[in-house]
A = this chain, B = another copy of it.
């Protein structure tokens, strides 16, 4: 839909019509008293390539069709996607509590935390072996040694593993242990990484960039989906705003709006948004109440000793009480009890 300026000449209108036709689309002008609007019907990408925003006499170009296709709600006729990931279910009526330490530090820390998560009803276990850090002088993760510890936790608890990949060259070792591969907010538009994950076929947890619109998030998901990988979990983790009283602003309105735009499950990460333990529980309750399909949260046996992001980790000994409250909030929003979505444990 091309809106002409009220000062546009007849030649300018005709030129726009000609250009629309030049890419095989049809042009439908409506001449109003004040302005002329031209509908362009045809391939969205072809019309976009015309770059009509800059053409003489053009006021603005309003895209009518959504640029995302495989992620759109229409694809499934309005039905929501439900994924079974190593026995854990997420989407639709299923709510997944994904928990674990920010960073894999030691065998004891990982296994103790995994036990706590399992007994509290968590359905997946998270932990970072490769850590994106703002400073090159910060700890960057245990790497493959960390992955091996996550593998042990999985063997012990049966919980599927969620872990982050930053470098496509580490894909192979990550695939050996990960049931879900996380893409961090800073890499949301790392198209190289997204395309490789699309090809790898393993479920992806895609975090929204700090200043990415919901449409951009879905376009990033589209990079994965386009390669044939249907399993993308979207994750709201806080956006950047003018407010300095907290690290990021958790955008919970994104949850119901995403659920209208896409059939993919939507998860919330309250830990990174807040950066402070005391905010994690209220934000988790709010995320569950607003309709999220899951929460990904950090917990640590002794947060003061955590190598990374200790201030935002829930204390493991308090985790079961937390999980019980989150479950109630999720049920208020129409979800099943946690045990209906967690993997069956032998």
Contacts and interface: CB of A to CB of B under 8 A. Distances in A.
Count identical subunits in the complex: 4
Contacts of A28: 30
A282 B289 contact: yes
Interface in A232-280: 239-246, 249-257, 260-261, 273-279
Interface in A210-249: 210-211, 213-216, 219, 222-223, 226, 239-246, 249
Given A242-B241, A282-B255, A311 B274 contact: no
A311 B54 contact: yes
Given A136-B191, A253-B279, A332 B329 contact: yes
A154 to B, nearest CB: 26
Contacts of A304: 19, 51, 55
A67 interface: yes
Contacts of A34: 65
Contact of A186 (B49, B137, B190, B273): B190
Find the residue from A166, A249, A290 having the highest chain B CB count within 10 A.
A290
Given A282-B289, A282-B290, A303-B51, A249 B251 contact: yes
A136 B222 contact: yes
